[in-house]
């Protein structure tokens, strides 16, 4: 049924601060304010601040990425092999960690293309550029 409707007057800055405090989860903000999510956030607030849904989503994504990176760090520190490999493949290139690559230009030599195969990505380089 929802909570009873009541008017809440908050500045955009205050709403953003609440969203940040609650990880971008609108339901948590509304529960903390004891207001109905549908009538307050999605009706009244969106009319006043049309970009508030996008702001909430950006805050939620940042919160999720923070949680995921914290979990990854915990797993790496615990020596969990999959997390260690993932960290090395994605972050390790910045410090010189690279997986071996194979170059196969036998079928593409006439076209001037070099295909570099790497288990994590494939790149094609045009050797005929001028």
Q: What is the pTM of this model?
A: 0.60
The tens-digit pLDDT sequence of the chain (130 residues) is: 555 566 678 899 999 999 999 999 999 999 999 988 888 888 888 889 999 999 999 999 999 999 999 999 999 999 999 998 888 888 887 777 777 665 555 555 555 555 555 555 444 455 555 4
36/78 Cα distance (integer angstroms) = 42
Question: 57: how many CB neighbours lie within 10 A of its CB?
Answer: 13
Q: Which residue is associated with the tokens 């194979």?
A: 102
pLDDT at 42: 81
Is 54 buried (19+), middle (13-18) or exposed (0-12) by CB count in 10 A? exposed
User: Could you give the 3-state DSSP secondary structure of residue 46?
Assistant: helix
């Amino acid at each position: 049924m929802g909570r009873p409707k009541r008017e809440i007057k908050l500045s955009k800055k205050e709403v953003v601060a609440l969203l940040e405090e609650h990880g971008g989860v609108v339901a948590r903000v509304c529960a903390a304010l004891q207001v109905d999510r549908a009538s307050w956030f999605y009706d009244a607030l969106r009319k006043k601040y049309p970009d508030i849904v996008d702001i909430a989503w950006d805050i939620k994504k940042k919160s999720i990425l923070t949680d995921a990176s914290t979990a990854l760090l915990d797993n790496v520190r615990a020596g969990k092999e999959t997390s260690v490999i993932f960290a090395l493949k994605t972050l390790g290139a910045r410090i010189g960690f690279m997986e071996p690559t194979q170059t196969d230009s036998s079928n593409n030599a006439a076209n001037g293309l070099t295909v570099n195969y790497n288990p994590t990505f494939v790149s094609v380089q045009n050797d005929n550029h001028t």
